[in-house]
Structure 1
Amino acid sequence: MTSDHDMLWSRCAYLGRVLLPLLDQEPWHQDRRRERLRSWGIDVAVGERLMEVFASLAAHAVAVDTSLSASELETLPLSAVADAATGKQDFELLAGLPDTFADDRDDVEVKVFRLYAYKGGQTSHQLFRLSTEVRHTLAVLAARESAPSPTCGDIFRKADEAHLPL
């Protein structure tokens, strides 16, 4: 049986995975993001996957800090996730994660994030740049919503409407 904590991570990971495909419904966003990543010396595939896990970690950190269950994640404002992406220290984002992950990709990417966070120097600077890129992505998606304070649930609904895979 899957624990609520594992389900919470799973929902947060899903949020991270759907952000870029939703943003890229306007293709020029993808072109600009990839151009920025290259100009920063970040491999596009690595940078985009780290952005996904960054968003997942930020959502998870806020959910854990506010004691949200997996079913309550839909109520989490995107602004809170954006604030966590740029406002929390890397090690704060890593606190409270599950010991194991159902998806091997999540396990690998969290380990890569952890290596970047603890290596310091240029990699820390790259994480900072990625955090601002995640914040920008969340801000653009939030601005597309008609609701005054868009939530993770709004993103989940958009992902469902776009037929993005779970």
Structure 2
Amino acid sequence: MTSDPDTLWRRCAHLGRVLLPLADQDPGRQADRHENLRTWGIDTAVGERLIEIFAALATHAVAIDASVPAAQLDALPLRTVADAATGKRDFELLVGLPDRFADVRDEQAVHLFRLSAYEGGQASRRLFQLSREVRHALIVLVERPLFPCPTCGDVFRRATEADLPE
């Protein structure tokens, strides 16, 4: 049986994985992000994976702070997650993570994030730049006129409608 913290993390990671494909439905969004990553000297694939995990970490941190169980994650407002992406310090996003990750890619990305957060200097600056990209992608979804106050549940529904993988 899966514990609630594991389920919570898996749902947060899923939100991170579907964020960019959903945000990229806006014309030019992907090209702008790729240009930003190149300008910052960040490999596109690595940068996008870090953006995914950053979104998952921000979602997870908000859920932990608000004591939101996995079953109620759908009600979490996207704007709150967007605010956490730039409002929380890097190491604050690492609080309460599972000891082990079912997905080795998540574990590797969290380790890279953690290493960058504690390394400081240029690595920390890259995380700051990526936090802005995460926030921007979330705000793109928040500002779409489909829902008055979009939640994580709305993102999950949009991902299902767009036939994005789980």
Same fold (TM over 0.5): yes
- 1:142 aligned onto 2:142: yes
Residues 31-77 of structure 1: CA distance to partner in whole angstroms, max 9, x if unpaired?
11000110111111111000000000000000011011111000000
Residues 5-31 of structure 1: CA distance to partner in whole angstroms, max 9, x if unpaired?
100000000000000011112341101
Aligned residues between the structures = 166
- SS of the residue aligned with 1:144? coil
Structure 1 runs of 4+ with >3 Å offset: none
Q: Please report how far the alpha carbon of residue 145 of structure 1 lies from its aligned counterpart in structure 2 after TM superposition.
A: 3.9
What is the distance in 1 between the residues matched to 2:130 and 2:55?
Answer: 10
Gaps spanning 5+ residues in structure 1: where? none
What is the distance in 1 between the residues matched to 2:28 and 2:115?
Answer: 31
What is the distance in 2 between the residues matched to 1:62 and 1:26?
Answer: 26
Q: How does 1:1-166 map to 2 (within 5 A)?
A: 1-166=1-166
Identical pairs, percent:
66
Residues 80-139 of structure 1: CA distance to partner in whole angstroms, max 9, x if unpaired?
100110000111000100000111111110000001101100110010000011000000
TM-score w.r.t. the length of structure 1 is 0.98
TM-score w.r.t. the length of structure 2 is 0.98
Gaps spanning 5+ residues in structure 2: where? none
